[in-house]
Amino acid sequence: MLDLETCRVFVRVVDEGSFSAAARQLGVSLPAVSKQVARLEQQLEARLLNRTTRRLSLTEAGEVFLERCVRLLDDAREAHDSVRRLHDAPRGLLRVSAPVTFAAGQLAPLLPAFLARYPEIRLELDASDRLVDLADEAYDLAIRLTEHPPQGLVARPLHGLRRVVCAAPAYLQAHGEPKHPQELARHNCLTYPQVPEGTRWRFERGDERLEIAAQGNLSTNSTELLLRAARSGLGLLRVRDYTVLDDLRQGLLHEVLRDWAPRARAALHVLYLPNRRLPPKARVFIDYLLQAYEPPSVA
């Protein structure tokens, strides 16, 4: 197999018209240049240069090979420059995986400003709850809710979570606002039966610990359906706070029992492969997310 350095030496010899001039330009010895060209001819089993005491000239095989060499070196230079451009500024395809609810409810509103700030980045967002393989599936980043980030990945915490209970103002006006978790027994609780904490609501305040069996007239495995039901005033909803941040800011939902909201052990993390040369496109996206979400506080 030919290597680029040998091709570069051959092209330089032709351009300079002599072995000695090529050696001076390349900063190597004359014997080194002669050996590389001789080895190249031996490898190709063809004479590339006609040598006389006065000048060098290309053979027919040499002319054909020179054309190919120049094209090969140009392609290699273009490939090198393309990679360098990717590392000079935030540009190129950025592939990110994020949980469905987080992607739709929290990440999507952040993207227009990010893409406007970095117009040369093309974002491919995979909204999925499965943990993708960053290396095998060629993802740059993954955002995941986890207590123990996977080994072998860099994990940057984005947000420390609380589980909040909230309801629409219309529901609270009609049924009153609970001041203690035990009052939930007389309220309509919207539940998510897929996980234990979806129906067994834990509360903490100081040294007090309570667990309440939440009951109501709607139970579903769709977080979006629960959110729509809560916004319409059907009942009380308990979710991770990032799911309802916008609803709380806009007044569509109101948080209750705030003093009793326990901080979840898991946190949102952005995960990526260990790499001392993290591409700018990934680095600026991580910085953007870190600015949008406070890191989890130390318990």
Same-domain pairing of 80 and 154: no
Averaged over 247-269, what is the pLDDT? 85
What is the domain-level CATH number for residue 144? 3.40.190.10
Nearest alpha carbon to residue 22 among 35, 32, 9:
9
3 state DSSP class of 190: strand
Same-domain pairing of 109 and 171: no
Greatest pairwise CA separation for the chain in angstroms: 106
Residue 239 lies in a domain: yes
The string of pLDDT tens digits covering residues 63-86 is: 888 888 888 888 877 776 666 665
Same-domain pairing of 96 and 75: no
User: Which of 235-267 are b and which e, b meaning 16 or more Cβ less than 10 Å from the residue's Cβ?
Assistant: bbbbbbbbbbbebeeeebbbebbeebbbebeeb
Residue 299 lies in a domain: no
Same-domain pairing of 228 and 281: no
The string of pLDDT tens digits covering residues 152-178 is: 888 888 876 788 999 999 999 999 999
Same-domain pairing of 260 and 273: no
pLDDT in the model for residue 74: 81
Same-domain pairing of 113 and 39: no
Residue 298 lies in a domain: no
Same-domain pairing of 43 and 105: no
Range of the domain at 144: 92-160+265-292
Nearest alpha carbon to residue 97 among 265, 269, 223, 225:
269
Look at the chain and report how many structural domains it folds into.
3
The string of pLDDT tens digits covering residues 38-52 is: 888 888 888 888 887
Same-domain pairing of 81 and 105: no
pLDDT in the model for residue 196: 81
Same-domain pairing of 139 and 286: yes
Q: Which of 86, 102, 119 is the last residue of a domain?
A: 86
Burial bucket for residue 298 (CB in 10 Å: 0-12, 13-18, 19+): exposed
pLDDT in the model for residue 174: 96
Taking the model in full, what pTM does it have?
Answer: 0.52
Averaged over 241-257, what is the pLDDT? 87
Q: Which of 86, 115, 143 is the last residue of a domain?
A: 86
The H-or-E segment that residue 91 falls in is: none
Distances (CA, A) of 43 to 36, 61, 153, 262, 268: 10, 13, 45, 72, 57
Same-domain pairing of 145 and 172: no
Averaged over 106-121, what is the pLDDT? 90
Residue 297 lies in a domain: no
pLDDT in the model for residue 295: 41
Same-domain pairing of 20 and 76: yes
Q: Is the pLDDT of residue 53 over 90?
A: no
Averaged over 23-49, what is the pLDDT? 88
The string of pLDDT tens digits covering residues 220-234 is: 988 889 999 999 999
What is the domain-level CATH number for residue 226? 3.40.190.290
Instruction: Give me the count of residues in the chain.
Output: 299
Distances (CA, A) of 5 to 77, 133, 234: 12, 36, 73
Q: Is the pLDDT of residue 198 over 90?
A: no
CA distance 36 to 30: 10
> What is the rounded end-to-end Cα distance, in angstroms, of the chain?
60
Q: Which of 35, 52, 86 is the last residue of a domain?
A: 86
Same-domain pairing of 121 and 259: no
The radius of gyration of the chain's CA atoms, rounded to the nearest angstrom, is: 32
